[in-house]
Structures are given as C-alpha cells and as structure tokens.
Chains A and B, each alone.
Chain A
Amino acid sequence: MTGALHRWLGLLLLAGALALGSAAAQAHPHVWITSASELIYAPDGALTGVRHAWTFDDMFSTYAVQGLESKTKGAYSREELASLAQTNVESLKEFAYFTFAKADGKKAKFQEPVDYYLEYRDGLLTLYFTLPLKAPVKAKELSLEVFDPSFFIDFKLADKEPIKLVGAPAACRMTLHRPNDGAASAQKLDEQTFMGGDNSNFGAMFANKIMVECP
C-alpha cells in the first residue's frame, strides 16, 4: 500500500515538474523592440558603457503615449515625454535593462542609466539611454546580449548599423549573431539558461549576441 502511495506521489511530482517546465516555455512576445546600440570606449581602449536606441512597435508606442499631454495633437516633444522616459528606465531596472555583458567570460555589471530620453517619430517611440559600466573593462573578448528572458519583448537588431563601436582600438573586430541565423541555437544551454531562478530564460534562444574581440 505505502509502496503504491510513494510511487503515486513520485509520479505526481514528476507531473508537477512537467507542468511548471512547460509554463516556462510558453511565453510569446507582446512588445517588439528594434535595437541599435553603441559600444563606447575610453581613449585608453577600455569599454565604458553601452548606449541603446530602442524603437518600440507601433501598438506599444501608441499605448505608451496614451493620456500624455501634448501641445500639438499626435506629436510629442522630448520634454513632454520626459516623465515617460523616467518611468521606462525605472521599470527596466527590474529586468537588468535586458542587457547582459561579459568581459572575458566574466559578467560585467552596469550602473543606472544616464542621458535617457524618448523621441516620437512617425508614430513610433524610441528610447535612448546610456548604461555606464560599473568599472570600465579592457577585454580580449567581450560579449553583449540584448534579450528578454521571459520573451514578453522581442528584441530585433536594427537592419542598418545595429552596433557601432565608438572610439574602440583599431584592432577590435566585431561579430554579430542574429537569432535567426542559426548561431543563436548553440547558446541556448549556456549558463544564462540556468541563472535567474525563475525558470523563464526562454528568451535566450532569441538573443542578439554581439562579440567584440580586441587582441
């Protein structure tokens, strides 16, 4: 009797684990961001930070400006969007700004964003912000990923100039891995997959990975 009960409980746990596991893989995006970023280097060749320009899709852009006051209907100035930009960067903190950097395999941490503002053009919002590194790094191999682990937001690298190196040493070479070029699937089981604890790192599969090698 107890044997059967134990077996029953064991299988029950398995079923529960399956249910929770499937919950992790079921998200799909509601917001789309086209991302263009700059890697900013100091004169001594150390990376000091990342500057993002994220353009939201039209549905989310419309949603975000809902109820905002503006002098001209359908146009919003940088000042009129200032409080929204403030809200944006504040809520992005919870998600680590969806920006994950590693210098020679070691996680590089960012400070809170500076120089942030929003622009509204052709019905689309673009959020500009700079993430300074806590400590500038000189890395032989730097990787930068921009993605939402829970895949509520789908990040796509801009077609034109998705990444710019600003002031980088001449010898640095950059490579891009877009999620749909097959390169991304190789990284889906890396360390990122197992951190965070909320079993929702599904978005890593769709990550945009930028590699910069400075020999």
Chain B
Amino acid sequence: MTPISRRASGRALARGLAIAVAAIVVMLALDGAVHAVMAQNPFGAPRPAEPQASGIVGWLLSKQSEFYREMSATIRAAKSDGSAVWTLLAISFAYGIFHAAGPGHGKAVISSYVVANQETARRGIVLAFASALMQSLVAVMIVAVCAWLLNATARTMCGAEKAIEIASYALIAAFGARLVWTKGGGFMRALQARPQALAVAAHPHDHGHDHPHDDHGHDHHDHVHADDHVHDEHCGHSHGPEPAELAGTGGWRRGFGAIFAVGIRPCSGAILVLVFALAQGLFWAGIAATFVMGLGTAITVATIAVIAVSAKDLARRLSSGSEGGGALVMRGLEFSAAGLVLLFGVGLLFGYIAAERATCL
C-alpha cells in the first residue's frame, strides 16, 4: 500500500469518526428536543413564538399532563359506570407513551446498553418491554404490600420508594462500571492495534488465513475489500471480544442486569394512580391501568433503543471502509456508551441528574 492510500484511509477514519459522532449528537439532540417539547406543554404553559404542533400528535402532546389528571376523574367514574374503565385504559396507554419521555424510564440506560453491548434491535425491544413490565410489577407490589396488606401510610411507602430508588441508581452505576470495564479493554486493544493494523494493511497476505469466515473472499488485489477483512474483528486478531461472547448466555445475563437496574424503580405516577384506585375500591382497575401504562412506556423506550441500534449500524457501515478505523470507531462508540451508563448511574446517585422524584411530601 502506498502512502497515498494510507492518507486516504486516514481521511476515511476521520470521516467515519465524524459521522458516528454526528449520529450520536443528532440522536441526543432529538431526544432533548422531544423532552423540551413535552415538558413545555402542561396545559397552557408558555410557549412563546412557537407554533403549536398540529394534528393528533400535537393534541396528545398538549394533553399529556391532563391525561394524568383525568385518570382520577375516570377512576371515580368507573365506580358507577364500568365502561369508564376502557377510557381509563386508553388514557393510561397514551399517557405511558408520552410519559416515558420523562426521566426514570430507562431510555438512556437501555439505549446506551444496546449500543455498548452490540445488541440487535430485537433485543433492544425485548429489554424495553421487560424492564417496563418489571417497573409495573414493582409499582403494583409496593402498593399491594404496603397499602393494601399492611395499610401503611404514604410516609412508609415513600420511604420504600426512596430506598428502591437509591438501590436502582447504585445498580445502574455498578452495571455501567462493569460495562466500562469490559468495553474499556476492547477500546484499548483497538487503539493499540491501530498502528499494527496499518502495517498489516500494507501486507495483507500475511494475515487473515486462519479466520473462520469463508464468505469474505480473498481477492488481495482489491484493497478496499482487503482492508475491510483485515480489520474486521472476526479475523482472528482478537481485537475486542468476539460476538459470540456478547450474544451468548452471558450476554443474556447482562441483559437481565439492564432489566433489573432499570425495572426495579417504579414510576411515581403509577404509585399515585394505584393508591388512588385502591382508595376508590377499584384496585384492579389501577393495576390494569399500570400495566397498560407500562406498555405505552415500553413502546417509547423500545423506539429509542431501536433508533440507537440503527444509528450504531449506520456508524458501523460508514466507518467500515476505513482500515483499522472501523474497529476503533466501533470500540470507541461502545466504550462511550458504557461510560454514559456509568455517568448516568453516578449522576443519579449523587443527584447531579434530575430524576423523577419519589412522591415524598
């Protein structure tokens, strides 16, 4: 390989990096924008010089907080009119979808996890649904045990909520630390492999003969292809962990970690709805509402997780053309996603990041 193609690959690497980072920034900005729009619009809040969103979405956005307030009226109505339960479920579902944009529903953790851990979109969806289901279950359990069985006061329940909250943040931090530990190794190896990889690229014939993939082809005259396969992590240079390590049973166990860390923390809104329903003698309606809310939440979190996976796939495709850089970009991306989980956990634990407060007043 000539110095010219080496320079070209350097440019490709820079381009890959820029595109990958751009993808992340766009995703986060989008996320932030959605939050800003949602948060700005609880009934008649000021939105100077901003056009109202139109259509069904706009209506849903502007009604977000009202949905929640309507729940109490609907639960009351359900006491005499059973059909109001359907209204309650519809409101809960819509509320869950939009509410998940708020803090405390694991968007950040689940999305970062799927990016860090080379997960598929399908697993992102499964994780989102499983964690939302667990959140609903925990909320129902807390209210069933504390309020229904023990007739405990709000103060006791809020104490339980706070304890669980701290446990959840600590779990997220620990989970993030573990991801950083595993991903850090891959990233460092990719960094060190970089100069080596350039040397390798100059002599593609010396390498790659032991890799298990037959479908790569061995057209050593095609530089682009040769680069691609030399730097693919499958090729026996053992930069970073093998995919099998990640998607195997161990991977599922780590997936369980994500579900647990996120799902253990119930939503304050669900607890309020459950206690209210219990007081109205319609606990079952509250439970149904909580699970439907969780379904809505899962849809939002799953969507964001899928966007995260797609963004990463895009980054992979765009950076795979550059020699060595492809692996480096991907390991870097995974490492930063792992770091983000750790930062979130620590930030939540020490109160740097505003989370949904437990209902303690």
Contact = CB atoms under 8 A, between A and B. Distances in A.
A15 B39 contact: no
A114 interface: no
B185 to A, nearest CB: 17
Interface string B184-201: 000000000010000000
Contacts of B44: 179-180
A19 B32 contact: yes
A15 B26 CA distance: 9
Q: Is chain B's interface secondary structure helix, strand, loop, or mixed overall?
A: helix
Contacts of B36: 22, 25-26
Contact of A18 (B25, B99, B103, B151): B25
Given A66-B157, A152-B357, A25 B46 contact: no
Interface string A1-37: 1001001100110111011111111111111100000
Contacts of A23: 35, 103, 353-354
A121 B360 CA distance: 21
- Which interface class (under 10, 10 to 19, 20 to 34, 35 or more) fits B? 35 or more
B128 interface: no
Contact of B272 (A63, A151, A185): A63
Nearest to A63: B275
A26 B17 contact: no
A206 B65 CA distance: 14
Given A25-B35, A28-B102, A206-B45, A62 B275 contact: yes
Interface stretch (A39-47, A87-95, A132-140, A165-173): A87-95
Interface in B68-119: 68-69, 71-72, 99, 101-103, 108
A199 interface: yes
Nearest to A33: B361
Contact of B42 (A1, A7, A28, A87): A28
Contacts of B71: 59
B356 A152 contact: yes
Nearest to B64: A28
B55 interface: no
Given A62-B279, A66-B157, A30 B268 contact: yes
Contacts of A30: 68, 268-269, 272, 356-357, 359
Nearest to B360: A91
A130 interface: no
A91 B358 CA distance: 12
A29 B102 contact: no
B336 interface: yes
Contacts of A55: none
Interface residues of A, number: 55
A104 interface: no
Interface string A77-120: 00000001001100110000000000000000000000000000
Contacts of A182: 46, 48
A67 interface: yes
B300 to A, nearest CB: 12
A88 B361 CA distance: 5
Contacts of A32: 69
A63 B336 CA distance: 41
B24 interface: yes
A64 interface: yes
Contacts of A8: 17, 21, 332
Interface string B141-165: 0000001001111111100000000
Contacts of B101: 26
Given A200-B354, A206-B45, 10 more contacts: A20-B353, A26-B39, A58-B72, A62-B275, A63-B272, A66-B278, A66-B279, A179-B44, A182-B46, A198-B352
Interface of A: 1, 4, 7-8, 11-12, 14-16, 18-32, 57-60, 62-68, 84, 87-88, 91-92, 150-152, 154, 179-180, 182, 184-185, 198-200, 202, 205-206
8 contacts: A8-B332, A18-B28, A26-B38, A26-B101, A29-B65, A59-B71, A65-B154, A206-B42
Interface of B: 13-14, 17-18, 21, 24-25, 28-29, 31-33, 35-36, 38-40, 42, 44-46, 48, 64-65, 68-69, 71-72, 99, 101-103, 108, 147, 150-157, 194, 268-269, 271-273, 275-276, 278-279, 332, 336, 340, 343, 347, 351-354, 356-357, 359-361
4 shortest interchain CB distances as A-B pairs: A22-B32, A26-B35, A200-B354, A67-B153
